[in-house]
């Protein structure tokens, strides 16, 4: 995999960690880069200036020690606010700005941001143009296939994006109305790839190395963005890279590998958020790492009861001390 080129930046490969609110914090981005992701996009930063100096936004902009290029996603519905948000992120160390037109969450769409913008092509174009003009850095766009299954306008938005100077597109293979229900479709992604000359990145339900290879072949996409499949399974990046290069499956991590990565992940979460918040943020990650184990539900209930890092780590160590070896599907 030669690596996507976005503006002046050549990625190590064609795999990107998707921005996911509450998931892709500094700790998780660093982990996925270590596991082979060519780039990791931050959680979205709002264009609402009142929230720029909150602790949450400061944590979302923590990326000074991350490998280049550092990409930050912004979300909003006002062109000038989005332009200001882009400048704010660049001033705080971002090297690539990604515009969110893909989030289906009601609280985002209700203010006409995220994937709701696909319903208003003129506003979408105004936002893209304002952000591209505002910063001397590559700007990318993440979107969906359309507003609903009867209104798939990704090709139209893609052409607008290319005309305004967007440097790459990521398309999630569902409409805003679909949320995350049903199967992703890739015909629209293939149509966008055929319609524009800028790089197109496929996203949606890429949960195995074999499927990654099939989607690349089917769509002709230049790269892949991995989201939910990486939660509790950061190894997916190296597994996909290995398969694409050799057409041989990489064995899954064994118990000791999973334990070491999980413990290190937890310790980094405690360091980032502090012990009180770190324990709470860690709960969902522990659940994802262990979701395929037969005792997963009982263990999750135990994890959700403890309040200290000492107790939380103790339960994780205890879980793995019971294991008899072999591999674990993370």
- Cα distances from 316 to residues 66, 222, 260, 283, in angstroms, run 27, 39, 11, 11
- The CA-based angle 50-18-69, given to 5 degrees, is 80
CB 17 within 8 A of CB 27: no
The catalytic residue among 103, 109, 178, 290 is 103
SS (H, E, C) 100-141: EECCCCHHHHCCCCHHHHHHCHHHHHHHHHHHHHHCCCCEEE
Which tokens hold the place of 140? 């990318």
Token digits for 115?
């994937």
* 89 carries an active-site annotation: no
Residues marked as catalytic = 103
């Amino acid at each position: 995999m030669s690596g996507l080129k976005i503006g002046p930046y050549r990625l190590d490969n064609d795999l990107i960690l998707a921005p996911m609110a509450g998931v892709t914090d500094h700790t998780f981005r660093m982990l996925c880069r270590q596991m082979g992701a060519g780039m990791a996009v931050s959680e979205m930063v709002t264009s609402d200036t009142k929230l720029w100096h909150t602790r949450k936004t400061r944590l979302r902009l923590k990326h000074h020690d991350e490998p280049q290029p550092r990409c930050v996603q912004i979300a909003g519905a006002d062109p000038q606010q989005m332009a200001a948000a882009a400048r704010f992120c660049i001033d705080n160390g971002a090297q690539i700005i990604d515009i969110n037109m893909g989030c289906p969450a009601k609280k985002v769409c209700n203010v006409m941001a995220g994937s709701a913008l696909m319903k208003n092509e003129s506003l979408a174009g105004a936002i893209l143009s304002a952000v591209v003009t505002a910063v001397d850095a590559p700007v990318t766009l993440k979107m969906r296939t359309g507003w609903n299954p009867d209104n798939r306008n990704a090709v139209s938005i893609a052409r607008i994006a290319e005309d305004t100077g967007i440097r790459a597109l990521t398309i999630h293979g569902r409409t805003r109305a679909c949320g995350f229900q049903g199967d992703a479709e890739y015909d629209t992604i293939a149509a966008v790839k055929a319609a524009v000359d800028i790089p197109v990145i496929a996203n949606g339900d890429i949960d195995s190395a074999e499927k990654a290879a099939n989607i690349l072949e089917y769509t002709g996409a230049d790269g892949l963005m991995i989201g939910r499949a990486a939660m509790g399974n950061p190894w997916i990046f190296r597994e996909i890279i290995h398969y694409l290069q050799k057409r041989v499956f990489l064995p899954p991590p064994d118990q000791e590998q999973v334990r070491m990565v999980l413990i290190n992940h937890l310790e980094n979460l405690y360091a980032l958020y502090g012990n009180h918040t770190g324990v709470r943020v860690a709960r969902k990650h522990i659940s994802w790492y262990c979701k395929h184990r037969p005792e997963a539900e009982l263990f999750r209930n135990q994890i959700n009861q403890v309040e200290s890092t000492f107790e939380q780590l103790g339960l994780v160590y205890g879980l793995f001390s019971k294991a008899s070896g072999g591999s674990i599907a993370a």
